[in-house]
Amino acid sequence: MFLLQTCSVAGCVEFAVHHRDTCFSHIPDPARYDQEIRQLISRTDTLADMNLSFIELSELDLSGKNINRCILSHASIQRVNLNNTRIRLLFVDFARINDCSFRASNIHNAVFAGAEIEACDFTGSDIMRCNFCGVRCRDTLFDESNLYASRFIASQLSRVGFQDCNLKQVRFEHADISEADFRYSNTEDANFGIGAKQL
């Protein structure tokens, strides 16, 4: 269940965030809200049905948690441990994700599209049917991951590791790929199509 209630401020088209009737930019005290959310997500094992768009999360340990049907669009996520998480239907589109670890996670139907992903580690994860279209991804590892049916269309991938991955039905059309490592992966099952530039 997505709580897609529009912000109560007249003319605003953003969705209201979790436990508030306004979007993040119209919260009177965003720092206090950040703190409240930090405490909330730290003490619960399952994060479900939350809209936390535009929130700033840093230095958090969310390893082993279940994250279901949440929206963190345009969020800033830095130095967060998400190892061994189980993620279903998550929107982190247009987010800034730096120095985060998603090792050995199980991620289905997550939307990272348009995000900046830098120095992150997805090693050994199931990343199935996820949307990485338009991401700007640097210095990040997807090694030993199952990326089945995920899409990196029109993405910019620089110094990204795809070593020993399952790339079946993975789509890279129009991607700008430089210094990527596809060793031992089944690139023949992926679609690089037209417009993918491998440097």
Partner 1 sequence: MRFFSYFSVLHFSNCYLVGPDGPGDAVLIDPGVFDEGLLRLIEDKQLYVRYVLITHVHHGHVNGLQTLQKIYDTTIFCFDPERLEAPPLRVGENKPVTCGEFSFQVLETPGHSNDSVCFLINGLLFTGDSLSAGSIGTTATGYEQALLLSSIRKKILTLKQNVLIFPGHGPPSRLEIERRFNPYLKEKI
For residues 54 and 89, give the distance between their C-alpha atoms in angstroms, rounded to a whole number: 18
For residues 117 and 39, give the distance between their C-alpha atoms in angstroms, rounded to a whole number: 25
Stretch that binds partner 1, among 98-106, 108-116, 158-166, 180-188 (CB under 8 A): 108-116
- DSSP state at residue 49: S
Shortest Å distance, C-beta 57 to partner 1 = 20
Strands 96-98 and 76-81: parallel
Stretch that binds partner 1, among 54-62, 95-103, 106-114, 182-190 (CB under 8 A): 106-114
Task: Please pick, from the candidates 18, 27, 57, 73, the single residue that binds partner 1 as defined by CB under 8 A.
Answer: 73
Q: Binders of partner 1: how many residues, by CB under 8 A?
A: 33
Token pair 């070593």 in the structure block, residue: 163
Task: Please pick, from the candidates 85, 146, 150, 166, the single residue that binds partner 1 as defined by CB under 8 A.
Answer: 150
Shortest Å distance, C-beta 163 to partner 1 = 23
Position 149 contacts partner 1 (CB under 8 A): yes
The answer for 94, left when phi > 0, alpha when psi is -120 to 50, beta otherwise, is left
Residues near 135 by Cβ (< 8 Å), separated by ≥ 6? 112, 113, 114, 115, 116, 117, 152, 155, 156, 157
Position 195 contacts partner 1 (CB under 8 A): yes
Shortest Å distance, C-beta 35 to partner 1 = 26
- Give the contact letters, 20-59, x = binds to partner 1 (CB under 8 A), - = no: ----------------------------------------
Residues near 62 by Cβ (< 8 Å), separated by ≥ 6? 41, 42, 47, 80, 81, 82, 85
C-beta closer to partner 1: residue 146 or 150: 150
DSSP per position, 79-132: EEE-TT-EEEEEE-TT-EEES-B-TT-EEEEEE-TT-EEES-B-TT-EEES-B-
Task: Please pick, from the candidates 20, 26, 38, 69, the single residue that binds partner 1 as defined by CB under 8 A.
Answer: 69
Q: Which residues bind partner 1 (CB under 8 A)?
A: 1-2, 4, 13-15, 69, 73, 89, 91, 93-94, 108-111, 113-114, 129-131, 133-134, 149-151, 153-154, 169, 171, 173-174, 195
